[in-house]
A and B are shown apart, each in its own frame.
Chain A
Amino acid sequence: MAELTYRDAVARGLAQEMERDERVVLIGEDVAKAGGVFKTTAGLLERFGPTRVRDTPISEEAITGMIMGAAMNGLRPVGELMFSDFLATCWDIVTNQIAKTRYMTNGQVELPLVIRTANGGGARFGGQHSQSLENWAMAVPGLKVVAPSSPADVVGLLAAAIRDPDPVVFFEHKMLFPIKGEVPDGELVDELGTARVLREGNDVTLVALARMVPMALEAAEALAAAGISVEVIDLRSLVPLDTRTLLGSVTKTSRLFTVEENPRLIGWGAEISSIVAEELFWDLDGPIVRITTPHIPLPAADELEDLAIPSVQRIVETVRRSAG
């Protein structure tokens, strides 16, 4: 067991899979010689060489299109988009081409590829480098969507994403890069579509993703002191979605709160709420409450951005007000 940062866990997951399978290759802007602008790919060029780890021009359509074509011809490529906001520049390739081609060809084309991208706010980067866009990808049939919250999950879920025969969009939260966590030694392979109950409780269920997970855990601690027993679920993956774990928890607690970094409208929690309302309506003791960023672009200044994104304090206050 070693303590690793979330940032180093990305490189470890990539290295583990590149070591195992020579079909795994990595391209993106500044991923090779520079080791990634967030240093998530440091050392991979030196270890695996320039054929398998390659810098691209600033050409997101080329990056995503090239990994699609490469996946059609025998590779298992990983493409990095430096910021998830840049998905907007290649959304045609991602949604019209990568997501749909298997279905439209009735299974003739298999696309074992991963798009890794730095996601989320909190770094004061302003509205074009801070968005939480998991729900965009979740809305498109044919994409799997993963967003880990811990270093161990980064390694295991990235390995699972690379081994998966379908296209996976892998969201790395940029505010989590420096956090540390225990990562088991040896090969680590997790399972997509499995949520984790990170804290058990009886009164309310808090379901969260990525950076909202540590916040939910901290809020649960504070709420425990106030006499509210909180169960915290880390969804980890939006597609496939582990509704069994979610519904099991809400059956027990009868209250659900979602903690989402995305802006309010059609955030992933809306789908979660819909499923729970439809399938567990008579088990609920109160309304489902969504804790989200307001429906605004993210601002840059410390005070404004902190106010926009859900905080531990906002989670605690919302739960106390609604379930206290």
Chain B
Amino acid sequence: MEIDTPTRLSLYREMVRARYFEQRAYDLFIEGLLKGTTHLGLGQEAVAAGFAAAMREGDMTYCTYRGHNHTLLRGAPMDALMGELLGRANGICGGKGGSMHLTDVTKGAMGSYAIVGAHLPIAAGAAWAAQVRGTDQASVCFFGDGTTNIGAFHEALNIAAVWSLPVVFVCENNLYMEYTPIGDVIAVEHPAADRAPAYGLEGIIVDGNDVDAVYETALRALARARRGEGPSLIEAKTYRHGGHSRADPAKYRPSAEVEEWMKRDPIVLYRDRLLALAVEVGDLDQIEAEALAEVDHATELTKATPPPDVAGLMTEVWADGGSAWRN
């Protein structure tokens, strides 16, 4: 299929926004303003951008602790995400979530789940509700290669296939489960794709650093879901530019491998492609400048925002807004 230029520019813009946002998150961690930990998706932006562009309003994104990209690119406001990372009053979850739990239900960003595998059955359940209610929603569930070894992965894949649920499972295979090469802990070559036949599904592999390829694959899988033909399991080959989390310098990766993948940076690749397609370099420069300005604005606004009101500590355990467990 031919992707039109406005869509391509949009894909580029979204990848750049995600890149600059996460680079800023890294810098703020070094500054000591971002506490706890962060799991950055630097280098994996093409997966988030390609899928977000293919999804519609009403579709539901379920992602992991490495979920800044996915939440931002579904449309969550950058300043509210920054506020959550820094634990400020403008945080999208009021400071109760943090880096690993960014959520914006109004945009279909249904949560970032930090226990590996848990959100696969949850995403399947959201898709089941769409099926029962007869809506044309689909849910998309992103997870890492390490997730393919946990039970919830297999329970979710099986029931989603048996019930023909409108859910797309997307394995972002960045070659490492935390600090360990995925190849050391699986008996097959492809952690997700080679498991797909066990659930009657096609093993789909896509270059996760080629945003056009991701976008087209996403459109096909979402169309299949909406036609009622059931789930897809997509393995997107990609690479983390950094370590698993803030505590990880990622020294276990061979430098030749890192260099090879850095040459395949999805944003660099796409910039070159767009220029080859006769997009003006000035247009790309402008997109980058705008993204940087947006990140700067979100950062300054957040830094100027106070911590959350402490009254929020005891709210929203229950639907009545409170936390009372006794009369």
Is residue A289 within 8 Å, beta carbon to beta carbon, of the partner chain?
no
CA–CA, A166 and B325, complex, Å: 12
Q: Per a CB cutoff under 8 Å, which of A51, A64, A107 touches B121?
A: A64
Q: Are A105 and B118 in contact (CB under 8 A)?
A: no
Provide the main secondary structure of the chain B interface.
Answer: mixed
How does the 8 Å CB contact mask read for B94-131 relative to A, with 1 for contact and 0 for none? 11110001011110001101010111111111111110
Q: A69-B125, A104-B96 are in contact. Are A52 and B132 (CB under 8 A)?
A: yes
CA–CA, A25 and B315, complex, Å: 29
CA–CA, A105 and B93, complex, Å: 5
Chain A residue nearest to B105 in the complex (CB): A108
Within 8 A of B (CB), among A57-100: 57, 59, 61-62, 64-75, 77, 92-93, 96-97
Q: Are B316 and A107 in contact (CB under 8 A)?
A: yes
Q: Are B118 and A240 in contact (CB under 8 A)?
A: no
Q: Are B158 and A59 in contact (CB under 8 A)?
A: yes
Chain B residue nearest to A69 in the complex (CB): B125
Q: A61-B155, A105-B97 are in contact. Are A69 and B121 (CB under 8 A)?
A: yes
Q: Are B159 and A66 in contact (CB under 8 A)?
A: yes
Nearest-Cβ distance from residue B56 to partner chain A, whole angstroms: 15
Q: Are A106 and B96 in contact (CB under 8 A)?
A: yes
- The interface centre, meaning the residue of B106, B122, B323 with most chain A CB atoms within 10 A of its CB, is B122
CA–CA, A93 and B106, complex, Å: 23
Within 8 A of A (CB), among B160-203: 162-163
Q: Which residues of A contact B281 (CB under 8 A)?
A: none
Q: Are B125 and A70 in contact (CB under 8 A)?
A: yes
Q: Are A142 and B317 in contact (CB under 8 A)?
A: yes
Q: Are A102 and B155 in contact (CB under 8 A)?
A: no
Q: Are A70 and B104 in contact (CB under 8 A)?
A: no
Q: Are B121 and A72 in contact (CB under 8 A)?
A: no
Is residue B255 within 8 Å, beta carbon to beta carbon, of the partner chain?
no
Is residue A221 within 8 Å, beta carbon to beta carbon, of the partner chain?
no
Nearest-Cβ distance from residue B122 to partner chain A, whole angstroms: 4
Nearest-Cβ distance from residue B249 to partner chain A, whole angstroms: 28
Q: Are B128 and A59 in contact (CB under 8 A)?
A: no
Q: A62-B121, A65-B120, A65-B124 are in contact. Are A105 and B96 (CB under 8 A)?
A: yes
Nearest-Cβ distance from residue B108 to partner chain A, whole angstroms: 10
Within 8 A of B (CB), among A193-233: 193
Q: Are B162 and A57 in contact (CB under 8 A)?
A: yes
Q: Are A110 and B159 in contact (CB under 8 A)?
A: no
Q: A66-B128, A240-B324 are in contact. Are A102 and B318 (CB under 8 A)?
A: yes
CA–CA, A246 and B155, complex, Å: 43
Q: Are A107 and B118 in contact (CB under 8 A)?
A: no
Q: Are B316 and A103 in contact (CB under 8 A)?
A: yes
Is residue B254 within 8 Å, beta carbon to beta carbon, of the partner chain?
no
CA–CA, A96 and B128, complex, Å: 21
Is residue A141 within 8 Å, beta carbon to beta carbon, of the partner chain?
yes
Q: A62-B159, A69-B124, A106-B94 are in contact. Are A101 and B326 (CB under 8 A)?
A: no
Q: A108-B105, A240-B324 are in contact. Are A65 and B158 (CB under 8 A)?
A: no
Q: Are B121 and A93 in contact (CB under 8 A)?
A: yes
Q: Per a CB cutoff under 8 Å, which of A66, A68, A109, A275 touches B103?
A: A109
Q: Per a CB cutoff under 8 Å, which of A69, A109, A110 touches B129?
A: A69
Q: A93-B118, A103-B96, A239-B325 are in contact. Are A108 and B103 (CB under 8 A)?
A: yes
Q: Are A166 and B318 in contact (CB under 8 A)?
A: yes
CA–CA, A275 and B326, complex, Å: 11
CA–CA, A71 and B111, complex, Å: 14
Is residue A135 within 8 Å, beta carbon to beta carbon, of the partner chain?
no
CA–CA, A107 and B111, complex, Å: 12
Q: Per a CB cutoff under 8 Å, which of A70, A107, A241 touches B128?
A: A70
Q: Are B94 and A62 in contact (CB under 8 A)?
A: no
Is residue B60 within 8 Å, beta carbon to beta carbon, of the partner chain?
yes
Q: Are A104 and B93 in contact (CB under 8 A)?
A: yes
Q: Per a CB cutoff under 8 Å, which of A102, A239, A241, A275 touches B319?
A: A102
Is residue A243 within 8 Å, beta carbon to beta carbon, of the partner chain?
yes
Q: Which residues of B contact A244 (CB under 8 A)?
A: 327
Is residue A251 within 8 Å, beta carbon to beta carbon, of the partner chain?
no
CA–CA, A61 and B141, complex, Å: 16
CA–CA, A306 and B317, complex, Å: 39
Q: Are B156 and A62 in contact (CB under 8 A)?
A: yes
CA–CA, A108 and B326, complex, Å: 24
Chain B residue nearest to A142 in the complex (CB): B317
CA–CA, A92 and B113, complex, Å: 11
Q: Which residues of A contact B128 (CB under 8 A)?
A: 66, 69-70
Is residue B36 within 8 Å, beta carbon to beta carbon, of the partner chain?
no
Q: Which residues of B contact A273 (CB under 8 A)?
A: none
Q: Which residues of A contact B117 (CB under 8 A)?
A: 61
Is residue A190 within 8 Å, beta carbon to beta carbon, of the partner chain?
no
Is residue A165 within 8 Å, beta carbon to beta carbon, of the partner chain?
yes
Nearest-Cβ distance from residue B156 to partner chain A, whole angstroms: 6
Q: A62-B156, A62-B158, A97-B122 are in contact. Are A74 and B129 (CB under 8 A)?
A: yes
Is residue A56 within 8 Å, beta carbon to beta carbon, of the partner chain?
yes
Nearest-Cβ distance from residue A220 to partner chain B, whole angstroms: 25
Nearest-Cβ distance from residue A240 to partner chain B, whole angstroms: 6
Nearest-Cβ distance from residue B117 to partner chain A, whole angstroms: 8
29 A–B pairs (Cβ distance < 8 Å), ordered by A: A25-B132, A56-B159, A59-B159, A61-B121, A61-B152, A65-B119, A65-B156, A66-B125, A69-B123, A69-B126, A70-B126, A71-B125, A72-B60, A72-B105, A72-B122, A72-B125, A92-B118, A93-B121, A97-B119, A103-B316, A103-B317, A104-B97, A105-B96, A105-B105, A106-B92, A108-B105, A112-B319, A164-B319, A166-B319
* Additional A-B contact list (13), CB under 8 Å, known A107-B316, A275-B326: A57-B155, A62-B152, A66-B125, A68-B121, A69-B62, A73-B133, A75-B133, A104-B96, A104-B103, A106-B312, A108-B93, A166-B318, A240-B327
